[in-house]
Amino acid sequence: MFNHYFVLLPEDFMRLKIITISIAISLLIGACSTPSNNVITTRAKTKPSTCGRPAYPRASMAAKETGVVDVSLHISKEGRVIETKIASSSGHQRLDSTAALAMKACEFVPATVNGVAIDSWEKMRWIWRTE
């Protein structure tokens, strides 16, 4: 029967120590350099009580104008509409401008990034029907 012995020499201890330290440093760097995927963003949300229904323009009603308008709203970090743009027209300028004007009066809970309010853009749609 053979007996095997493993003998560590002083230089082996130094190599083992260097390898151990290198592994520890690699693990630490890996943990610290992990990309920050913990960014939490929220979109702006309408405060329903502040958004009224736009009145159908009389001339549009008489002309039986209908359509769908998408309005882009620039919302401040305070939750106010700063600017509106027609993203998609109903095909009738009167309906588009009435919808944009009504949406400009809406108030919002602002969008956030990691709990900090930011300016943002949101889109809202209004469907005009004469029914």
- Report the predicted TM-score, pTM, of the whole model to 2 decimal places: 0.69
- Per-residue CA distances from 51 to 33, 47, 102, 128 (Å): 45, 7, 7, 16
Rounded to an integer, the average pLDDT of 56-78 is 96
Lowest-pLDDT range, 17-21, 29-33, 50-54, 81-85? 29-33
The pLDDT-based confidence of 131 (bands split at 50, 70, 90) is confident
pLDDT digit string, tens, across residues 26-37: 665 655 554 557
Q: Let me know if residue 51 belongs to a domain.
A: yes
CA-based R_g, the chain, Å: 31
Q: Let me know if residue 45 belongs to a domain.
A: yes
Rounded to an integer, the average pLDDT of 39-61 is 93
Q: Let me know if residue 74 belongs to a domain.
A: yes
Q: Let me know if residue 105 belongs to a domain.
A: yes
Contact 96/84 with Cβ under 8 angstroms?
no
| DSSP secondary structure of 4-42 | ------HHHHHHHHHHHHHHHHHHHHHHHTS------EE
Q: Let me know if residue 5 belongs to a domain.
A: no
Q: Let me know if residue 18 belongs to a domain.
A: no
The pLDDT-based confidence of 52 (bands split at 50, 70, 90) is confident
- Tally of domains in the chain: 1
Q: Which residue segment(s) compose the domain that 65 sits in? A: 41-128
Q: What is the CATH number of the domain that holds 53?
A: 3.30.2420.10
